[in-house]
Amino acid sequence: MKAVVWHGEGDIRLDTVDDPGILEPTDAIVQITRSAICGTDLHFIRGTMSGMVEGTILGHEAVGVVTEVGPAVRRFSPGDRVLINSTISCGACRNCRRGLTAQCDVANPNGPLAGTSFFGGPQATGPVNGLQAEYVRVPWAVNTLIPLPDNVSDDAAILLSDIFPTAWFGAELAGVNRGDTVAVFGAGVVGQFAIASAFRQGAGRVIAVDGQPSRLATALGQNAEIIDFNAEDPVQAILDTTQGIGVDAVIDAVGVDAQRPWDGPAKKAGDEQAEQFDAEREQVAPETNVQGDNWVPGDAPSQALQWSVGSVAKGGRLGIIGVYPPALTSFPIGEAMNKNLIVKMGNCNHHTVTPPLLDIVAAGLFDPTKLITQHEPLTSAVEAYESFDRREEGWLKTELTVG
């Protein structure tokens, strides 16, 4: 079968690889019909999330049809249309039973203390071959798959595999309450869904911060107020528009590839921190393979965290869903401590977060397809990765058509 395979930083290829087979009684095989490229995948190719194993199939977002099930899979049969959750969970351990499926004790082959297991990630997450492929072996299929109703198309379902639930979870982590003013850092597709989620959870105002005008325009289209960090100092602008108080809650939808301003009034402060940011980049990305404009790691790994803490009100809340690798150790802990902040973070518990969101989509209350900007065949995935990585105008979210 065809699959997108990680060979090294800056080196991904469309390879022909063996079809997967059932290895455990709890496995299923799914023929993929739609996959997608995520900002998380970019961290692996830029080198800012290290520890990838050569030969790992990338991708953790997909929709497909079950073709085979192991003898312990009682809920699914060949022919079932399914959504594949990005994170893998057993459904039986202590953490799965309390809804913390991203911290399943048994799904990660590296043992109970290893943390989240997900498709197409670094060694520490499995590794488990990913979903940018024609077929996939799905471990713990009963918990990792969600049945899809006929009235939800593949295009409507694909962003329920990771993006919408992650963003919803981010708004929950940030404790969004009725009437809150919420800042969303990052207006990539996760940030866009965080805006929609914050409003649905009761936010009175949502302020989106990014440096990409076209992404800010999309945020504006969702009724967010927008701040371009290359035109204004985002912390000052947020204080100015909240009577000096700051926002009630912040969602960080940027992560480790954060950039600092390359223009505008906040550039000077970022440049003055260049030494610290460079040291952070060394820490998170020991290996990189920059090729022209491609695969350039963000130049300020802790920038979004600093702005988040700086712009939230005293006693406010911070929900971090942007991905940071274990190697990053900087967080403005003193400033957060001295503002009595509540800080929550983590990988989305897809198995428990997604079902009500699937209902919202099935009922036609929210149309996720409007945020898919590119439809490419799997065979063009490498070129699509390159355009998305360069943040080309209009490339917000790429879905991959398979088969």
Nearest distance, CB of residue 292 and Zn ion, angstroms: 25
The sign of the torsion formed by the CA atoms of 242, 247, 253, 259 equals: positive
Which C-beta is closer to Zn ion: that of 17 or that of 93? Answer: 93
- Taking a C-beta distance cutoff of 8 angstroms, is the pair 160, 149 a contact? no
Residues 6+ apart with CB under 8 A from 308: 183, 185, 250, 252, 318, 320
- What are all long-range contacts of 17-23, with beta carbons under 8 Å and residues at least 24 apart? 17/57, 17/133, 19/134, 19/135, 20/129, 20/135, 20/136, 20/137, 21/137, 22/68, 22/69, 22/70, 22/137, 23/137
Which C-beta is closer to Zn ion: that of 38 or that of 320? Answer: 38
- Taking a C-beta distance cutoff of 8 angstroms, is the pair 328, 345 a contact? no
Q: Which does 96 bind (CB under 5 to 8 A by kind): Zn ion, ligand NAD, none?
A: Zn ion
Taking alpha carbons only, the member of 233, 53, 188 closest to residue 125 is 53
From the centroid of its chain, how far is CA 191?
A: 9
Which C-beta is closer to ligand NAD: that of 69 or that of 372? Answer: 372
Q: Which does 259 bind (CB under 5 to 8 A by kind): Zn ion, ligand NAD, none?
A: ligand NAD
Distance CA 385, CA 41 (A): 9
Nearest position to Zn ion, beta carbon: 38
SS3 label, residue 87: strand
SS3 label, residue 84: strand
Nearest distance, CB of residue 141 and ligand NAD, angstroms: 20
Q: Which does 104 bind (CB under 5 to 8 A by kind): Zn ion, ligand NAD, none?
A: Zn ion
Which C-beta is closer to ligand NAD: that of 42 or that of 142? Answer: 42
Neighbours of 304 (CB within 10 A): 28
Nearest distance, CB of residue 33 and Zn ion, angstroms: 17
Which C-beta is closer to ligand NAD: that of 106 or that of 253? Answer: 253
Binding footprint of Zn ion on the chain (CB under 5 A): 38, 40, 89-90, 93, 96, 104, 162
Q: Which does 304 bind (CB under 5 to 8 A by kind): Zn ion, ligand NAD, none?
A: ligand NAD
Q: Which does 258 bind (CB under 5 to 8 A by kind): Zn ion, ligand NAD, none?
A: ligand NAD
| Cis amide prior to 122 (ω within 30 degrees) | no
Which C-beta is closer to Zn ion: that of 164 or that of 185? Answer: 164
Q: Which does 93 bind (CB under 5 to 8 A by kind): ligand NAD, Zn ion, none?
A: Zn ion
Q: Which does 303 bind (CB under 5 to 8 A by kind): Zn ion, ligand NAD, none?
A: ligand NAD
Binding footprint of ligand NAD on the chain (CB under 6 A): 38-40, 42-43, 162, 166, 185-191, 209-212, 215, 229, 253-255, 258-259, 303-304, 321-323, 347-348
Nearest distance, CB of residue 349 and Zn ion, angstroms: 11
Which whole-number Å values give the CA distances from 100 to 115, 141, 147, 376, in the listed order?
A: 11, 17, 20, 34
Strand partners, 210: 228
Which C-beta is closer to Zn ion: that of 167 or that of 249? Answer: 167
Nearest distance, CB of residue 225 and ligand NAD, angstroms: 14
